[in-house]
A and B are shown apart, each in its own frame.
Chain A
Amino acid sequence: MSLAELICPAGTPAALRTAVDAGADAVYCGFQDATNARNFPGLNFTPEELEASVAHAHAKATKVLLALNTYPPAGKVDLWRQAADTGARLGVDAFIVADMGVADYIARTHPDKRLHLSVQAAASSPEAIRYYCENFGVRRVVLPRILTIPEIRQIRKEIPCEIETFIFGNHGLMVEGRCSLTNYLTGQSTNMDGVCSPASDVEYLRHEDGSMSSQLAGFTIDRFSPDEKAGYPTICKGRYTAPHRSEGYYAFEEPISLNLSRLLPELIDAGVHAFKIEGRQRSKSYVRGVVSAFRQAVDDIRAGREARIADLVALTEGQKQTQGAFETRKWR
């Protein structure tokens, strides 16, 4: 059986301590700039905060993974290199990378550090994963959330590195690292700036009939009737109309959260080494609740017991959950 490590989000030093104390095997975090894919105001770490956080985590035998998982635009590569150098100096346990230039730099400059391939690299086949393993010494791949469990099992047989999969949190629909929707509407790029549907561009408009529009950069992403709860205007979770769909419909996906708590034994059996919980932008109480619940579930499975799955629905977006692609090809 694989170790089934629990990889937990740390958007702030406080969230990091919470995740460590709740039983994370590893936490992942980023600096306060474009070098990571959650470059949101009020999130992330200064080098000083990261240094203290690494000490706290290591004292409890928890690993710290540094996300450098965006794509530097030409002319700005040094920011990513300096972030890697700083992370190495502060003793992080691994780097999570997507860009080949960044991967190449770390492989040459910090050859003793583990490299994890970010979901942002969109490596969804054994050949793509082997490319990164053979060229940059990647030790673990974070798989895109688009594969079924039989597909994951097959990939595991054909690659020389560990597999990490998302098990809980935001259910990204677009292939990560290949999405410019936010840049198209707001001028801030997910790949280059680490920004997705930024809060600074969000507005809610109340209409005379009591309905509410959620807008991003002036575009109506959804409209809610008075009895509906207005959701956050993420472009790929909005309702639109089309020639065959005169009523607004979720053209891409409903606002729904991934929850694979019931599939953990199957995922372990398929050869998944590490389970990732999404949510660096979420609160400490979210981190505490989710990490504790999954800690218990994973410990149950490791001990050969039936996993007790605490009810995690209250913590999910829109109070709805899915097993997404992991469950069935019909999802596609």
Chain B
Amino acid sequence: MAVKDMMKLTLGPIAYHWAADTRRDFYARIADEAPVDEVYLGEVICSKRAPFHEPDLPGTIERLQRAGKTVVLSSLAEVMLKRERRATEDLMSMEWPEIEINNAAGLYARGNRPHRIGPFMNAYNEATIAWMARQGATHVCLPTEMPAPAIAVAARAAGELGIGIEVQVFGRAPLAVSARCYHARAHGRTKDNCRFVCEDDADGMPLFTRNEQPILRVNGIQTQSESYVDLLPETGQLAADGVTHLRLMPQDVDMVGVASAFRKVLNEEQAPDEAETSLREICRGRPFSNGFYYGEAGYRRIAMATPA
């Protein structure tokens, strides 16, 4: 299975407002123990959070690189305010490490210098991917809601263009962003006087329907899925279709264990169903979903058809 051997495992940027020391410990352990090839760093969701962890960034980059990981810096998904415009421009002026762009303001500042395209850029199809590649994109992370047939066509196009293609295979799906902070709203505050209540919810704030069914998670201005996307059983198909990178989104669970489960399947050291069992234990019974991949409602868990 040479194709699977070539696949890279990546760790996406932390979506939540984890405290600075939590982040330091997290990345130290990732550097030492997690079998991932590439790590995305940086604040993608809320520009107000960035000052808390930016001072640690150089040290984290150094630590991860010393451990042999490729480091990529991700840009903000929403760019509206002056500080967001400035942060985006500053990031885009960097020659190193690599940059992942999540807003067209970043594309404008980056010009045709090399960059990666993030999952918030809406690269849904081969025409858009070809356009982006002509402007200097070397790598595209597809939107999380894309179904398998579209992933396959996009991956083939990316392969012909000689650029990387990435799919989120683990963690809560990003479902929406807003200018309004829903964390602040839940606490009777506004975005400007939020007092960083989002820090209390390391895995997002749960929303329940009025008949007590968990449905969504609030993460500041972002809304996420209640279920964790899990495409571990589908990694073989993703590899066969030409996907080059699999993204694990950091959740408040043992991410070293999560990465190991995926790595063992990629290395064929463990059967997918065995790895899936340990993944479920690591995630302490949180619901898994793969509906988007199968073109069904995203929250659904579809059993993979057994090959005849």
Contact = CB atoms under 8 A, between A and B. Distances in A.
| Real binding pair | yes
Interface of A: 71-77, 98-102, 104-105, 121, 123-128, 130-132, 134-135, 144, 146-147, 151, 173-175, 177-181, 183-187, 189, 191-192, 213, 217, 219-223, 236, 238-245, 248-249, 251-253, 325, 329-332
A239 B210 contact: yes
Interface stretch (B26-34, B59-67, B102-110, B251-259): B102-110
B211 A220 contact: yes
Interface stretch (B36-44, B126-134, B261-269): B126-134
A213 B80 contact: no
Given A244-B186, A325-B179, A71 B125 contact: yes
Chain A CB within 10 A, most for which of B126, B210, B215, B292:
B210
B205 interface: yes
A146 B128 CA distance: 26
Nearest to B294: A187
A180 B207 contact: no
Contacts of B296: 187
B122 A177 contact: yes
A77 B153 CA distance: 11
Contact of A146 (B132, B179, B225): B179
Contacts of B295: 187
Contact of A191 (B109, B135, B143, B152): B143
Contact of A332 (B84, B191, B218): B191
B280 interface: no
A206 B211 CA distance: 14
B127 A241 contact: no
A30 B188 CA distance: 40
A256 to B, nearest CB: 13
A249 B185 CA distance: 10
Contact of A77 (B126, B215, B291): B126
Contacts of A173: 178, 180
Given A101-B130, A173-B178, A180 B78 contact: no
B178 A174 contact: yes
A210 to B, nearest CB: 15
Contact of A240 (B130, B157, B174, B210): B210
Interface string B2-37: 000000000000000000000000000000000000
Contacts of A184: 145, 173, 175, 216, 225, 291-292, 297-299
Contact of A99 (B85, B124, B178, B208): B124
A185 B299 contact: yes
Contacts of A243: 205-206
B45 to A, nearest CB: 12
Contact of A219 (B79, B108, B213): B213
Nearest to A186: B297
A191 B124 contact: yes
Nearest to B103: A128
B232 interface: no
Contacts of B216: 181, 184, 240
B181 A332 contact: yes
Contacts of B135: 135
A90 B297 CA distance: 37
B249 interface: no
A241 B208 contact: yes
B120 interface: yes
Interface residues of B, number: 76
Chain B CB within 10 A, most for which of A185, A187, A332:
A332
Chain B CB within 10 A, most for which of A76, A100, A146, A184:
A184
Interface in B243-294: 291-292
B127 A221 contact: no
A189 B209 CA distance: 21
A72 B127 contact: yes
A241 B218 CA distance: 12
B186 A192 contact: no
A242 B176 contact: no
A222 B210 contact: yes
18 contacts: A72-B127, A74-B129, A74-B146, A100-B128, A100-B132, A101-B131, A123-B104, A126-B85, A127-B108, A146-B178, A184-B173, A184-B292, A184-B298, A189-B145, A191-B122, A238-B209, A253-B180, A330-B192
B136 interface: no
Contacts of A147: 80
Contacts of B126: 74-75, 77, 101
A180 B150 contact: no
Given A222-B210, A330-B192, A178 B176 contact: yes
Nearest to A253: B180
A242 B147 contact: no
Contact of B297 (A127, A183, A213): A183
Given A131-B104, A131-B108, A185-B297, A242 B125 contact: no
Contacts of A251: 182, 185-186, 207, 218
A77 B130 CA distance: 12
A175 B78 contact: yes
A213 B213 CA distance: 14
B93 interface: no
A77 B127 contact: yes
Nearest to A187: B297
A241 B147 CA distance: 31
A253 B176 CA distance: 14
A71 B176 CA distance: 16
B144 interface: yes
A73 B211 contact: no
